[in-house]
Amino acid sequence: MLFHTHEFDNGIRVIHHRVPSQVAHCGIYINAGSRDENEAEQGIAHFIEHLFFKGTKKRRAHHIISRLEAVGGEVNAYTGKEETCIYSSFMREDFERSLELIADMTFHSVFPEKELYREKQVIIDEILSYLDSPSDQIFDDFEEQIFRNDPIGRNILGTPGHLMKFCRDDIIRFMGQNYQTNQMVFTSVGDLDFRTVIKHAKKHLEPVPVNITGRIRNGHRAYEPESRTVGRKTHQVHYITGNRAFDIHDSRRMTMILLNNILGGPGMSARLNLALRERTGFAYNVESHYTSWSDTGVFSVYFGCERDKIERCRQVVLKEFDALRNKRLSPLQLNRAKRQLKGQLTIGWENRENLMMAIGKSYLLFNRVDTMEDVYCKIEAISASDLLEAANLVLEPGSLSELVYI
């Protein structure tokens, strides 16, 4: 798998992977997200992402929306704890149209005052919609619990109170402090010669003024396990448990990915699904998640069940934790788990939009991209002892936090 790269004098990097397809994908990754907000700025990174669609120096909102839709393409964006991404999918002959639009939105948005209030109402409705979904809200509340009084634990959407106070100057200030050109990557996947990609990137990205502010992210407070129960008027009990976990640079990250996949990955054969759904019928939905950031991570297990089954389900989960902490996987089990993970990752990379995002984020964080062969080697290097060690660090009962909506 061949990746072409380039870096402009302003610090913006470009990465491209050529694939035979009529459809292409591209986007800009920015190393700035909700964890970069101060106390008064909660929700501003996500607000800015919305406002990218509301007008530039040469386009009104409806012109932005229709620019790619007129040729059958689409443009979208998302905000994470540590990144913001604007991306698009389109026919390969519309590459420059897409790149120019994304660059215009990222670097020439004007944030018109008349759009600010209107978009605040949209996001408040988004927040209220999210609060009506306890199976979604519990994940963010759990992260806030294990990262107490820490920006990385806050909900990305912010709060209505903070949102209503933002003005245009707040937006310009946050972008000036956090949208650093040496922390931006333009990523693309499609049937395009790299010389063509660079030709258009030079036109639309090279002229962007240098902005390198030397931002330093603060560390995290010490972790203290906590169990909490919240009263909610719901038909189901919602339960989540977990712990802080390895950051994205930790050599044990791939081991944790494999451990998570064994325990509660997307397959029906995941241990928790077999134990809680197939064997007992206690729960319809059970899942585990592992997310890593630049300097920390989080692992969690979630399920929803009937009120009278909560303790039995909880004990089943803890029993599966104990099994992974105390019983080494056999060579057959380990080989099967590795093969499953490799297959899932390979199938995921066949989605070209996912591939575009994956290589962009990797190049942003590591200034390199692992090929599938590199990933396979890392998976094959994991031993049963590595899994046992990771399980004992992350799944240790005394280190687990719990949150219950009941």
Whether 29 and 168 share a structural domain: yes
> Where do we find the tokens 């670097």?
107
Residue 31 lies in a domain: yes
> Is 299 in contact with 253 (CB distance < 8 Å)?
no
Distance CA 42, CA 38 (A): 7
Distance CA 233, CA 101 (A): 45
241 in the same domain as 197: no
Residue 210 lies in a domain: no
* Phi/psi-derived region of residue 218, left when phi > 0, alpha when psi is between -120 and 50, beta in every other case: beta
CA distance 237 to 400: 19
- 199 in the same domain as 235: no
* Residue 235, pLDDT above cutoff 90: no
Instruction: Say how far apart CA 62 and CA 285 lie, in whole Å.
Output: 40
17 pLDDT exceeds 90? yes
**Can you tell me whether residue 387 is helix, strand or coil?**
helix
Structure-token pair, residue 81 = 């704890």
Please indicate, yes or no, if residue 257 is contained in any of the structural domains: yes
- Six token digits for residue 107: 């670097």
Structural domain contains residue 213: no
Confidence of residue 334 (pLDDT cuts 50, 70, 90): very high
Instruction: Please state, rounded to an integer, the average pLDDT across all residues of the chain.
Output: 96
CA-based torsion, 242, 245, 247, 248: positive or negative: negative
232 and 127 housed in the same domain: no
Q: At CB < 8 A and 24+ separation, what contacts does 143-146 make?
A: 143/298, 145/226, 145/228, 145/401, 145/403, 146/223, 146/226, 146/242, 146/243, 146/244, 146/298, 146/401
Residue 130 or 296, more confident: 296
Average pLDDT over residues 125-147: 94
pLDDT tens, position by position, 241-288: 999 999 999 999 999 999 999 999 888 899 999 999 999 999 999 999
What does the alpha-carbon distance between residue 84 and residue 184 come to, in Å, rounded to a whole number? Answer: 10
Q: Span 159-187, mean pLDDT?
A: 97
Q: Is residue 222 part of a domain?
A: no
Range of the domain at 289: 227-405
Higher-scoring residue by pLDDT: 215, 112? 112
Residue 214 within a domain: no
Q: Report pLDDT for 82.
A: 98
Q: 100-125 pLDDT, tens per residue?
A: 999 999 999 999 989 999 999 999 99
- How far apart are the C-alpha atoms of 90 and 303, rounded to whole Å? 38
Question: 373 and 319 in one domain?
Answer: yes
364-384: pLDDT as tens digits = 999 999 999 999 999 999 999
pLDDT of residue 342: 97
For residues 247 and 359, membership in a common domain is answered with yes
The reported pLDDT for the residue numbered 233 is: 83
Are 243 and 198 found together in one domain?
A: no
Under 8 Å CB-to-CB from 323, ≥6 apart: which residues? Answer: 271
Shared domain check, 237 and 195:
no
User: Would you state the pLDDT for residue 246?
Assistant: 98
Instruction: Spell out the residues 6+ positions from residue 116 whose beta carbon is closer than 8 angstroms to its own.
Output: 51, 166, 167, 168
The pLDDT of residue 216? 87
Do 311 and 182 sit in the same domain of this protein? Answer: no
**Phi, psi values for residue 81, rounded to 5°:** -70, -30
pTM confidence score: 0.95
* pLDDT number for residue 35: 97
**pLDDT value at residue 172:** 97
Edge-to-edge strands of the sheet including 84-91?
Answer: 4-7, 13-18, 184-190, 23-30, 84-91, 74-79
CATH number of domain containing 242 = 3.30.830.10
Torsion over CA of 373, 289, 359 and 38, rounded to 10 degrees? -150
Average pLDDT over residues 62-78: 97
Task: Single out the residue in 149, 173, 204 at which a domain terminates.
Answer: 204
Instruction: Give the tens place of pLDDT for each residue, 337-351.
Output: 999 999 999 999 899
User: Averaged over 145-160, what is the pLDDT?
Assistant: 96
Name the band, by pLDDT with cuts 50, 70 and 90, for residue 84.
very high
Which residues have CB under 8 Å from 155's CB, separation 6+? 34, 42, 43, 140, 144
Q: Which residues contact 378 (CB under 8 A, 6 or more apart)?
A: 254, 370
- Does residue 199 register a pLDDT over 90? yes
Q: Looking at the 3D structure of the chain, how many domains does it have?
A: 2
Q: At 284, phi and psi to the nearest 5?
A: -80, -40
